[in-house]
Amino acid sequence: MNVLAGLYRPEAGEILIRGQPANFRSPQDAIARGIGMVHQQFMLVASHTVAENIVLGLDRPRFFLNLSQVEEQVEALAEQYRLSVNPHARIWRLSVGEQQRVEILKMLFRGTKVLILDEPTAVLTPRKLSHYSVPCAI
């Protein structure tokens, strides 16, 4: 899964996406091809809000961040996938389950079509997980 997520380079074999070879040099390459990974260890900034964490590291917007617009987009995405989380909340105030939802939303916000879960669902119940299906277009 680390090879698919762009963290490691393959030593053998090949990755095909829609029948075409894919070569990932970084997680950004994998995300650009629609593959994202939610890690077991969270990669969130505790003092930032949910919305700020979701856009952290994106190259757009370049100079001006319209945070209210991002919060609306995060809220809509959370509702679409039934991942209840307040976009205004500070990460340090969230439960472990809510932080996991933020990590999942972070990948969905980036447009991933295939979501690799590195054991991030331990505190999520099977009933909740059944609502997280993402249509796969790869």
For residues 41-57, average pLDDT:
92
Identify the three-state secondary structure at position 49: strand
**87 touches 49 (CB < 8 A):** yes
Q: Catalogue the E-assigned strands of the chain.
A: 15-17, 20-22, 35-38, 114-117
* CB within 8 Å of 118: residues ≥ 6 apart: 1, 37, 38, 39, 40
Q: Residue 78 corresponds to which tokens in the numbers above?
A: 């959370």
Structural domains present in the chain? 15-129 (3.40.50.300)
Give the global pTM: 0.79
Identify the three-state secondary structure at position 123: coil
Band (pLDDT 50/70/90 cuts) for residue 138 is very low
Residue type, 11: E
Band (pLDDT 50/70/90 cuts) for residue 57 is confident
Q: From CA 109, how far away is CA 53, in angstroms rounded?
A: 11
The whole-number pLDDT of residue 128 equals: 53
The whole-number pLDDT of residue 107 equals: 92
Backbone angles phi, psi at 94, to 5 degrees: -90, 150
- The structure tokens 């990932």 sit at 24
Does the pLDDT of residue 133 top 80, yes or no? no
